[in-house]
């Protein structure tokens, strides 16, 4: 049974406690000494990659993806052939090791949401760790956005008090994630005061990683739903959080997936595909880049300091090569000069 309160421990402290527990199991015969040492070595590598002072609960699915891929790129010191990366079996073993750590951390109350459930990097039998395709296709994304819009326009649910109506809030969550691609931590940290209007354009001041902020304009349709939510859909509360439960408490990261799943249930089966908040971040990046939006603008929307990071977020879309070749710039009819 999970503890009632979260204990914010550092990655290093969590690793020490977990390794102590693992080694204790060798005394009962539950684990062999060799297996326990493998766990200890992998957990020590996790501490090195994540940083000793990082709070374990602050690691997101996106962070876990980065850690897994960083491990995959590490030179394997045990190999004499000068191999540049870990073997596929080593990569799969490392993923199992940290997965076991996070499973224990969830039960121990060190994390409120197991980030492994949000990670998208999986171990392949050949080729090692690879990110799964995460971005929704255009049709799937439009189906989800359409369901969110209809939810925001739906009449009040009969039999429920005004403060229990969550349709507009759920619409705002899905629309912000689908069109702007924030990290889920950035979304649940957002406050009402972070949204402002300048020259008739609605902006969201997003407080991102490393203390960095970015001001991103909202698409007009999303801004309208947001304003509707603030006017008549947000629960009355002294809490300044943008997203509240019907009891007036700030939503947690784990609540967001449940919202996405509820909206997905309203999408027609032919357009429906399960997706995580991080998958919607990939969806935003993929479709902005596929539509030839300036790479630096996409970088600023997502809140990355380096353009090279965008490569992780650019997923393949079915049929996009065919579309690109049909619209080849060298085969277009030349423009006629004005008469």
Is residue 278 annotated as a catalytic residue, yes or no? yes
Percentage of the chain with pLDDT > 90?
A: 45
Give 288-333 pLDDT, tens digit per residue. 888 878 888 988 898 887 777 677 666 666 666 666 667 667 677 7
- Determine whether 304 is an active site residue: yes
Which of the residue ranges 45-59, 63-77, 254-268, 320-334 would you say has the lowest mean pLDDT? 320-334
Least confident of 71-80, 246-255, 285-294: 71-80
Residues 6+ positions from 185 with CB-CB distance below 8 Å: 58, 60, 253
Contact by Cβ (8 Å): 175, 222: yes
- Is the per-residue pLDDT at 131 higher than 80? no
Residue 216's H or E segment, with its range, is strand 213-217
Confidence (pTM): 0.64
pLDDT of residue 1: 46
Per the residue annotation, which of 95, 134, 169, 183 is the catalytic one? 183
Torsion angles phi and psi, residue 244, rounded to 5: -125, 150
The domain spans of the chain are 11-131, 138-315
**287 has catalytic annotation:** no
| Predicted local confidence at residue 276, as pLDDT | 85
From 234, 281, 282, 299, active-site residue: 281
280 phi and psi angles, rounded to 5 deg: -70, -30
The one catalytic residue in 85, 96, 209, 266 is 209
Instruction: Give CA angle at 135 (131, 139), nearest 5°.
Output: 150
Q: What is the pLDDT of residues 265-278, one digit of tens each?
A: 999 988 888 888 88
Residue 164 has pLDDT above 60, yes or no: no
> Is 274 within 8 Å of 260 (Cβ atoms)?
no
Pick the CATH number of 11-131 from 2.60.40.10, 1.10.1670.10, 1.10.150.130, 1.20.1090.10: 1.10.150.130
Q: Strand 201-207 vs strand 121-124: parallel, antiparallel, or unpaired? A: unpaired
Higher pLDDT, 262 or 153: 262
**Catalytic residue flag (residue 203):** no
Known catalytic residue at 281? yes
- Which is the catalytic residue, given 189, 253, 278, 299? 278
- Supply the pLDDT for residue 163: 45
Q: Are 104 and 39 in contact (CB under 8 A)?
A: no
CATH homologous superfamily for the domain 138-315: Intergrase catalytic core (1.10.443.10)
Rounded (to 5) percent helix, strand, coil in the chain: 55, 10, 35
Asked if 272 and 140 count as a contact pair (C-beta separation under 8 A), the reply is yes
Nearest-10 crossing angle of helices 61-73, 33-50: 110
pLDDT of residue 77: 67
183 part of the active site: yes
């Amino acid at each position: 049974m999970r503890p009632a309160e979260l204990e914010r421990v550092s990655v290093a402290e969590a690793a020490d406690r977990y390794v102590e527990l693992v080694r204790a199991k060798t005394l009962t015969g539950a684990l062999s000494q060799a297996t326990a040492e493998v766990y200890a070595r992998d957990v020590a590598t996790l501490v090195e990659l994540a940083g000793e002072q990082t709070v374990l609960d602050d690691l997101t699915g996106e962070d876990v993806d980065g850690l897994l891929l960083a491990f995959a790129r590490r030179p394997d010191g045990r190999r004499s052939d000068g191999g540049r990366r870990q073997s596929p079996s080593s990569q799969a073993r490392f993923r199992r090791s940290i997965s076991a750590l996070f499973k224990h951390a969830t039960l121990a109350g060190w994390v409120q949401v197991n980030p492994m459930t949000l990670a998208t990097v999986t171990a392949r039998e050949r080729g090692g760790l690879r990110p799964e395709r995460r971005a929704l296709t255009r049709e799937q994304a439009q189906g989800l956005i359409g369901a969110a819009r209809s939810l925001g326009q739906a009449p009040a649910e009969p039999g429920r008090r005004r403060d229990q109506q969550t349709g507009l809030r759920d619409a705002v969550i899905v629309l912000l994630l689908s069109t702007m691609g924030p990290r889920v931590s950035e979304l649940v940290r957002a406050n009402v005061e972070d949204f402002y209007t300048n020259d008739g354009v609605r902006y969201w001041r997003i407080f991102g990683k490393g203390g960095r902020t970015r001001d991103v304009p909202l698409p007009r349709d999303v801004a309208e739903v947001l304003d509707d939510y603030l006017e008549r859909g947000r629960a009355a509360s002294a809490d300044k959080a943008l997203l509240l439960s019907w009891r007036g408490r700030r939503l947690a990261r784990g609540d967001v997936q449940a919202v996405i799943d509820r909206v997905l249930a309203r999408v027609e089966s032919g357009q429906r595909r399960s997706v995580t908040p991080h998958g919607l971040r990939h969806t935003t990046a993929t479709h902005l880049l596929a539509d030839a939006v300036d790479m630096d603008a996409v970088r600023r929307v997502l809140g990355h300091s380096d353009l090279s990071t965008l490569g992780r977020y650019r997923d393949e879309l079915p049929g996009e090569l065919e579309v690109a070749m049909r619209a080849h710039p060298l085969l277009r009819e030349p423009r006629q000069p004005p008469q």
